[in-house]
Amino acid sequence: MSVASRIGVGAYTLLLRLMPGGWRSTYGRESIADLREILRDSERLRGETVVGTTLRACLDLLVCLPGAWWAVLRPETAARGRDAPWGRPGLGERMTNVWRELKLAGRTLARRPGFSAVAVLTLALGIGANVAIFSIVNAVLLQPLTYDDSEGIVEFRHHAPGLDLPELSNSPGMLAFYREYADFYDAIGAWNSSSHNLAGAEEAARVRVTRGEPSLYEILRVQPFMGRPFNEADATEDGAHVAILAYDAWRSRFGGDPGVLGRTVEIDGRSREIVGVMPDGFAFPDEEVELYLPLWVDPDGPFGSFGMSALARLGDGATVASAQSRSTELLPRVLDYFDSLEPQFLEASGFAVSVETLRDRTVADVESTLWIILGTVAFVLLIACANVANLFLVRAESRQKEMAVRAAMGAGRRSVAASFLSESLLLGVAGGAFGVLFASASVDWLLALAELPRAAEVRVGAPSLALAALLSVVAGLSFGAIPMTRYVGTRFAAVLRDGGRANTSGRERHRIRNLLVASQLALGLVLLVGAGLMLRSFAELRSVDLGIEPEGVLTMGLNRNAGEDPEVAVRFYAEAAERVAALPGVRTVGITGQVPLASGSANGGSFYIESKPRQEGELPPIALYRPVGPGYFESLGIPLLAGRPMESLDWEEARRVVWVNQDFADSYFDGDALGERVAWGLETDENDQPLPDAPWAEIVGVVGDVREFGLADEDLRPNAYFPLLVDGPVNLDLRSASLTIRMQDGQDPTALIPAARQAVRELSPDVPITATRTMEEIVSEAMEGTAVTMMVLAVATAMALFLGAIGLAGVISYVVGQRTREIGVRVALGARSADVSRMILRQSMAVTAAGTLLGLFGAFALTRLMEAILYEVSATDPLTFVTAPVVLVAVSFVASWLPVRRASRVDPMEALRAE
Amino acid sequence: MGDTADDRGTRRRLKAAWFHILLALADGAQHGYAIRRSVKERTDGVVKLYPATLYGSIRDLSDQGLIEALEGEDDPDDDQRRRYYRLTPAGRDALADEVGRLQEILDQARATRALGGA
């Protein structure tokens, strides 16, 4: 049985405890044995999930719960039922009883509005937070992707750690290889996605485009809702002339025009006919895509040009695991398939393949974070329940006499129990109802906080409502049951006799309350440690040396049509940079192909070094490169460590010069790189050596290292910077570029946006401008995931600490109240107020100490689960594990202060007179 | 309890879950999970009896004397803990009554014009 099934059976077994004892002993074992069988079936059958089946079985149990209890609690009606045939004997009467009990409970609660409001609000917060997060977890992690039969779709990619390339997608050669050998796939479809200029719709724009082989759309099982799908004839070598619109783009860019089929649009200046519109709700890989184009992959393509993603549909009987192991088995055959590969290539590069379901790939980045957040809010709910249970216990004390009187008047224990349960149930249900309102209000806010995959699918729907109902009932029953257990066994006569004071169960009731508070504090401490670890991660992230100075820098993306003469594009960028530089407040303007941290993509590959000819079988050196204009290093504050700065003549004359970063110089030239000559993509002779007249580029400068791919990208990478136009040693992609604009000190970069856009528009109105953002925005987006997790944990921790402190204060106040007489006697016998304070404080600190100890164990066990989302901080970080308990003890101390002061001021005369 | 079906039960509707359980037991004694399976098969997966409903109904049906648990009849291939249930004569009557009632409704429905009746 899988882990999920085991957890399911465990949860069900726990829930079964809610059933009456007789029911459980007669049918409990059979029920659990059945559930095991049912879940085993679910694992085998398609279309049923273990989680779904468990939820349905649990829900079924909860629905049956009232019936089972009423049959026991109302023995007289149940007995009468024996005489009647199989209908529903006495049901009307039973319903009347339930109704009466609930009305009574409602009236009792209404008489104590303060108590009821606090209880309902506490529960609403706890349940609401859980429902909101669960709605997100359910949509993002639990539901299958919206594609038809999506469990059969996998994504495969390659890795070559030996080449410093942990992520390697797919190449035309590898696709052909799998198409030849991988019989466990029904179909394979390659795709990539990029941005292009769109003209011919209502206005010119930059749009996201997915290019996929016709088989890709078959794997996703999508049919246009209007028009026709792509066919093999569309995917041609010279690029096809057809396009399919996404539904939303059809609505927004073409006004939902039903006659859109056959219309022509221009994509990067090339005409394409619209042949279809995708159905509403279809998006691949995400909602931002507006246009789908066919992709042609050369069946005789090379092994080496990796760069496209690939999906596959599993064949009959194949699973992700079997596809993974069989793909791994296939890999050695690439040596026979591609003549160009050296025999030692596989071993030296560590070339490997990984196969994962599309669902796992889609949510991989957020999965652990979401589960941790769900766990966190579950803790908050537990704390909230403990708090309400405590409130109930306090109130139960004051109702002892009322209960005793009811018992004396002939009310059975069952009816006393029923009245407790109906009150707590009513509170639980009210808390749940408010919680759902709270959740539906906060889900959108939560989604706005962080960019999540599949966010469009999130809603507070039936599963969330079911969870809210389940939580309300379970919470209501559990905190109602705690005082009830105390009552059902109480000897009421004794209570009446001694006025509810010194009966024996008092001490035990204390123990329950202390236990509740200690566990609240323990849970609070676990959250505190979690929040502390996130805070430390965040601080570490902030202190990472990015290698740039982001303050006061604005970036602005400019886009030209693909296929345009590079020189025309570069002249345009340079002219735009010059115009922006002339604006008031601007210090320097640079041009770059990619802004650091802003895009995941980069150009790069193996290169040649003139002074170190390649040996046979040796792995080539690899580095990234990008085109930059003069002023780039200065505008981002990247220091020039050696050599000369870049000047305009470098690109105007297309000089063969290049700048490299420190890591490049260290990796390949032991730090002394100036004067060395390098080149990418050279033509080579039959021995893989560059031709004698190869266009080498000379290294004329060394600059500081920059974290190009994000704060948590652990490795620096060798990087080369070419002038915008260069003749020979490299191929530069200049379709789009960004201006990096550094303002003079103290000037706000955002204030420049309108003027900068205007300056570019004057130069050319048709060039789409994208992503006008400050460098600081880009940096904070790169930290977003950590920041959001930290914030959610911090809010949850604050709530938990607050609730825990209230709980502790309540318990200590109560203790003081109970012991007033004793304290009075002590004071009368000569105890000083400091002695009294110490006595009470000792009790409060004992509870705190127990909670702290418990919490430390819990934190130690649970924070390991956070390892994946921590940055440069160990899950058992000593600083956090010392600080968090100190904070907890301080909070407890403050919470006990008021009641302790009250105790120290007890007037012995008053206290004794009250007797 | 032999008189249950005769004197006043003929027009009273049997709960759906009860009807399916009685029907499943009509061919012989079965244990709980087997009942669930045959109900699921018979209804093409539409009716799924989860444990609480199943055993709640079994308890009610036993209380009403319509079914009874067989003690000491162990299937050697099966889990020792499973108890088998079988119809009592009263249960058989109740099932027959319900089938008769459904038959009557069916006949009436077939007689309407919408379904090609007269």
Cα A396 to Cα A104, A682, B25: the distances in Å are: 16, 85, 49
Range of the domain at B17: 13-115
State the Cα–Cα distance between residues A532 and A879, nearest whole angstrom.
9
pLDDT at res. A503: 44
Q: Inspect the interface and report whether the beta carbons of A60 and B33 lie closer than 8 Å.
A: no
Q: Inspect the interface and report whether the beta carbons of A57 and B12 lie closer than 8 Å.
A: no
A584 touches chain B (CB under 8 A): no
A17 touches chain B (CB under 8 A): no
Q: Inspect the interface and report whether the beta carbons of A81 and B63 lie closer than 8 Å.
A: yes
Give B107→chain A minimum CA distance, Å. 24
A409 and A264 share one domain: no
Residue whose pair of structure tokens reads 């045939």 in the numeric block: A85
Handedness of CA A646, A652, A653, A657 (dihedral sign): positive
- DSSP string across A823-885: HHHHHHTT--HHHHHHHHHHHHHHHHHHHHHHHHHHHHHHGGGGGGG-SS--TT-HHHHHHHH
Q: Inspect the interface and report whether the beta carbons of A57 and B79 lie closer than 8 Å.
A: no
A647 and A759 share one domain: yes
Please name which of A807, A795, A781 lies closest in space to residue A530, comparing C-alpha atoms: A795
Which chain A residue has its CA at the smallest distance from B66's CA? A86
Instruction: Determine the average pLDDT of the residues in A117-130.
Output: 87
Give B115→chain A minimum CA distance, Å. 31
Residue whose pair of structure tokens reads 């993603």 in the numeric block: A309
Q: What is the DSSP code (8-state) at residue B91?
A: H
Do the domain assignments include residue B1? no
Instruction: Determine the average pLDDT of the residues in A55-62.
Output: 81
Instruction: Determine the average pLDDT of the residues in A448-476.
Output: 84
**Interstrand relation of A640-643 and A165-168 (parallel, antiparallel or unpaired):** unpaired
| Banded model confidence at residue B2, pLDDT cuts 50, 70, 90 | very low
A216 and A320 share one domain: yes
pLDDT, one tens digit per residue, over A294-344 is: 988 888 888 877 778 899 999 888 888 999 999 999 888 888 888 777 777
Q: Which residues 6+ apart lie within 8 Å of A308 measured at CB?
A: A169, A170, A171, A172, A175, A190, A191, A192, A295, A297
State the Cα–Cα distance between residues A525 and A517, nearest whole angstrom.
12
Give the angle subtended at the CA of A721 by the CAs of A719 and A725, to the nearest 5°.
145
A83 touches chain B (CB under 8 A): no
pLDDT, one tens digit per residue, over A654-682 is: 889 999 999 999 988 988 889 999 988 77
* Least confident window among A71-85, A408-422, A609-623, A644-658: A71-85
Do the domain assignments include residue A624? yes
Do the domain assignments include residue B8? no
Do the domain assignments include residue A198? yes
Q: In B, which residues are within 8 Å of A88 by CB distance? A: 15
Number of domains in chain A: 4
ipTM for the predicted complex: 0.81
Which chain B residue has its CA at the smallest distance from A86's CA? B64
Of A35, A37, A86, the CB nearest to B66: A86
Q: Is pLDDT above 70 for A719?
A: yes
A587 and A721 share one domain: yes
| Banded model confidence at residue A684, pLDDT cuts 50, 70, 90 | confident
Q: Is pLDDT above 70 for B72?
A: no
A573 and A492 share one domain: no
pLDDT at res. A632: 92
Q: Is pLDDT above 70 for B77?
A: no
pLDDT at res. A639: 93
Give B111→chain A minimum CA distance, Å. 29
Do the domain assignments include residue B72? yes
Q: What is the DSSP code (8-state) at residue A456?
A: G
Range of the domain at A594: 561-766
* Least confident window among A324-338, A620-634, A696-710, A782-796: A782-796
pLDDT at res. A154: 93
Q: Which two tokens stand for residue A113?
A: 């509005």
Which chain B residue has its CA at the smallest distance from A65's CA? B52
* Least confident window among A366-370, A431-435, B8-12: B8-12
Q: In A, which residues are within 8 Å of B64 by CB distance? A: 82, 85-86
pLDDT at res. A635: 92
Q: Inspect the interface and report whether the beta carbons of B61 and A85 lie closer than 8 Å.
A: no
Which chain B residue has its CA at the smallest distance from A88's CA? B15
Largest Cα–Cα distance in chain A? Answer: 111
Q: What is the DSSP code (8-state) at residue A564?
A: S
**What amino acid is encoded at A151 in this protein?**
E
| Banded model confidence at residue A84, pLDDT cuts 50, 70, 90 | very low
| Chain A contact probe: residue of B55, B62, B67 with most A CBs at under 10 A | B55
H or E element in which residue A897 lies: helix A878-904
Last residue of a domain, one of A715, A736, A766: A766
Task: CATH number of the domain at B63, please.
Answer: 1.10.10.10
**What amino acid is encoded at A589 in this protein?**
V
Cα A636 to Cα A630, A731, A783: the distances in Å are: 12, 24, 19
Which chain A residue has its CA at the smallest distance from B63's CA? A82
Do the domain assignments include residue B110? yes
Q: In A, which residues are within 8 Å of B51 by CB distance? A: 12, 27, 30-32, 34-35, 38, 57, 60-61
Please name which of A706, A704, A679, A707 lies closest in space to residue A693, comparing C-alpha atoms: A679
Q: In A, which residues are within 8 Å of B6 by CB distance? A: none
Phi, psi of A680 (to 5 degrees): -105, 150
Q: Is pLDDT above 50 for A501?
A: no
A130 and A226 share one domain: no
Do the domain assignments include residue A732? yes
Instruction: Determine the average pLDDT of the residues in A399-415.
Output: 69
| Chain B contact probe: residue of A27, A40, A86, A88 with most B CBs at under 10 A | A86
A405 and A495 share one domain: yes
Do the domain assignments include residue B4? no
A525 and A610 share one domain: no
Three-state DSSP state, A9: helix
Q: In A, which residues are within 8 Å of B50 by CB distance? A: 35, 38, 56-57, 60-61
Which chain B residue has its CA at the smallest distance from A31's CA? B51
**Interstrand relation of A719-723 and A622-628 (parallel, antiparallel or unpaired):** parallel
pLDDT at res. A78: 43
State the Cα–Cα distance between residues A293 and A274, nearest whole angstrom.
10
Q: In B, which residues are within 8 Å of A56 by CB distance? A: 48, 50
Q: Which residues pair with A209 in a beta bridge?
A: A194, A291
pLDDT at res. A146: 83
Going across the sheet that includes B84-87, the strands are: B30-31, B84-87, B67-70
User: Which residue would you say has higher pLDDT here, A565 or A408?
Assistant: A565
A26 touches chain B (CB under 8 A): yes
Number of domains in chain B: 1
Residue whose pair of structure tokens reads 């088989």 in the numeric block: A215
Residue whose pair of structure tokens reads 């504090």 in the numeric block: A521
State the Cα–Cα distance between residues A447 and A456, nearest whole angstrom.
9
Do the domain assignments include residue A280? yes
A727 and A870 share one domain: no
Q: How many CB pairs under 8 A join A and B?
A: 84
State the distance between the two ends of chain B, measured CA to CA, in whole angstroms: 42
State the Cα–Cα distance between residues A633 and A553, nearest whole angstrom.
12
State the Cα–Cα distance between residues A440 and A438, nearest whole angstrom.
6
pLDDT, one tens digit per residue, over A587-601 is: 999 999 888 887 656
Cα A556 to Cα A568, A703, A771, B49, B65: the distances in Å are: 19, 23, 6, 62, 82
Do the domain assignments include residue A310? yes
Do the domain assignments include residue A127? yes
User: What are the contacts of A599-603 at 24+ separation with CB within 8 A?
Assistant: A600/A709, A602/A626, A602/A708, A602/A709, A603/A732, A603/A733
State the Cα–Cα distance between residues A410 and A426, nearest whole angstrom.
25
Which chain A residue has its CA at the smallest distance from B80's CA? A30
Three-state DSSP state, A207: strand
| Banded model confidence at residue A839, pLDDT cuts 50, 70, 90 | confident
Which chain A residue has its CA at the smallest distance from B12's CA? A87
**What amino acid is encoded at A119 in this protein?**
A
**Percent of chain A scoring above 70 in pLDDT:** 89
**Interstrand relation of A270-277 and A226-227 (parallel, antiparallel or unpaired):** antiparallel
Phi, psi of A681 (to 5 degrees): 55, 45
B18 touches chain A (CB under 8 A): yes
Three-state DSSP state, A769: strand
Q: Inspect the interface and report whether the beta carbons of B33 and A81 lie closer than 8 Å.
A: no
Half-sphere exposure of A401 (CA within 13 A, CB side): 7
Q: Which residues 6+ apart lie within 8 Å of A150 measured at CB?
A: A144, A358, A359
CB–CB of B39/B47 below 8 Å?
Answer: yes
Q: Is pLDDT above 70 for A495?
A: no
Do the domain assignments include residue A77? no
**What amino acid is encoded at A111 in this protein?**
R
A136 and A176 share one domain: no
Please name which of A595, A780, A785, A603 lies closest in space to residue A706, comparing C-alpha atoms: A595
Q: In A, which residues are within 8 Å of B55 by CB distance? A: 23, 26-27, 30-31
C-beta neighbour count of B114 within 10 angstroms: 7
Q: Is pLDDT above 70 for A809?
A: yes
Looking at A621-705, which runs of residues are DSSP E strands?
Answer: 622-628, 640-643, 657-661, 677-680, 697-703
Q: Is pLDDT above 50 for A152?
A: yes
Which chain A residue has its CA at the smallest distance from B95's CA? A86
Q: Is pLDDT above 90 for A141?
A: no
Give B102→chain A minimum CA distance, Å. 16
Q: Inspect the interface and report whether the beta carbons of A30 and B83 lie closer than 8 Å.
A: yes
Q: In A, which residues are within 8 Å of B81 by CB distance? A: 29-30, 33
| Chain B contact probe: residue of A9, A15, A16, A34 with most B CBs at under 10 A | A34
In this structure, what is the dihedral angle of CA atoms A146, A147, A149, A150, given to the nearest 10 degrees? -80
| Banded model confidence at residue A292, pLDDT cuts 50, 70, 90 | very high
Q: Inspect the interface and report whether the beta carbons of A60 and B55 lie closer than 8 Å.
A: no
Phi, psi of A350 (to 5 degrees): 65, 30
Q: In B, which residues are within 8 Å of A74 by CB distance? A: none
**Percent of chain A scoring above 90 in pLDDT:** 15
Task: Tell me which residues of chain B, numbers 54 to 73, contact chain A at a CB-CB cutoff of 8 Å.
Answer: 54-56, 58-61, 63-64, 66
Which chain B residue has its CA at the smallest distance from A53's CA? B50
pLDDT at res. B1: 40
Q: What is the DSSP code (8-state) at residue A690?
A: B
Instruction: Tell me what the pLDDT averaged over chain A comes to.
Output: 81
A420 and A281 share one domain: no
Q: Is pLDDT above 50 for A81?
A: no
H or E element in which residue A190 lies: strand A185-199
Which chain B residue has its CA at the smallest distance from A89's CA? B64
Looking at A528-612, which runs of residues are DSSP E strands?
Answer: 553-559, 586-592, 603-609
Q: In B, which residues are within 8 Å of A27 by CB distance? A: 51, 55, 58-59
Of B9, B63, B81, the CB nearest to A30: B81
Q: Is pLDDT above 60 for A502?
A: no
State the Cα–Cα distance between residues A102 and A574, nearest whole angstrom.
78
- DSSP string across A506-519: HHHHHHHHHHHHHH
State the Cα–Cα distance between residues A864 and A874, nearest whole angstrom.
9
Instruction: Determine the average pLDDT of the residues in A440-469.
Output: 83
Of B8, B55, B56, the CB nearest to A85: B8
CB–CB of A246/A290 below 8 Å?
Answer: yes
B2 touches chain A (CB under 8 A): no
A82 touches chain B (CB under 8 A): yes
Whether pTM exceeds 0.90: no
Q: In B, which residues are within 8 Å of A68 by CB distance? A: 52, 56
**Interstrand relation of A719-723 and A657-661 (parallel, antiparallel or unpaired):** antiparallel
Q: Is pLDDT above 80 for A820?
A: no
pLDDT, one tens digit per residue, over B14-57 is: 888 899 999 999 988 889 899 999 998 888 888 888 999 999 99
Burial status of residue A505 (CB atoms within 10 A of its CB: 0-12, 13-18, 19 or more): middle
Q: Inspect the interface and report whether the beta carbons of B55 and A31 lie closer than 8 Å.
A: yes
Three-state DSSP state, A703: strand
pLDDT at res. A742: 93
Q: Is pLDDT above 70 for A907?
A: yes
Do the domain assignments include residue B51? yes
Do the domain assignments include residue A158? no
Half-sphere exposure of B1 (CA within 13 A, CB side): 22
Of B31, B48, B51, the CB nearest to A31: B51
Cα A831 to Cα A825, A839, A905, A910, B96: the distances in Å are: 9, 11, 12, 16, 84
Residue whose pair of structure tokens reads 């290294």 in the numeric block: A699
A433 and A579 share one domain: no
